[in-house]
Amino acid sequence: MEGYVVMDVVEGRRAAREMWEIAEAIDAPAIQRFQRLAAQSSICLAFGLAERLGKEVYNTVIFIDRTGDICGRYHKSQLAEGSHPDWTFNRIGKRLRAFDTPLGGLGFVICNDRWYPLLVEMHKRYAPTMEKLGRRLG
């Protein structure tokens, strides 16, 4: 599952349909395999994907808890490459998302989102676990 062909599409090196072809719906078999893996291994998973939602594609991160349930997902909201109303292959997220997980409240930023201090600060306020994880990983 890959979201990084966006610039290839924007710059004309690939067709927009290719982004659609690699995108997965949140209930797709590939996502269900990750849910089963989390449940069978009793682990939490967080990962990014190109998510197909209706006729649009979003750069998405999802969090799966150790029982295999999806606790939440976030769509990238700050697109360095810009956007256009016709670009159904790369939609802008409309909401800041923080959600409860077995690890505590979490929020995510994707790529260019991290350069917007207000986004990160809002996540830290509503999902303090994110700040702790960031310090450990960062």
Parse the chain into domains and list their residue ranges.
6-98
Token code pair at residue 55: 């006729």
Q: Dihedral of the CA atoms 68, 121, 24, 8 (nearest 10)?
A: -150
pLDDT along the chain (138 residues), means of 10: 66 84 92 98 93 91 94 85 78 79 81 78 65 45
Q: Output the pLDDT for position 135.
A: 45
Closest by Cα among 1, 8, 2 to 81: 8
- Does the predicted model carry a pTM greater than 0.95? no
Closest by Cα among 3, 12, 31, 20 to 111: 3
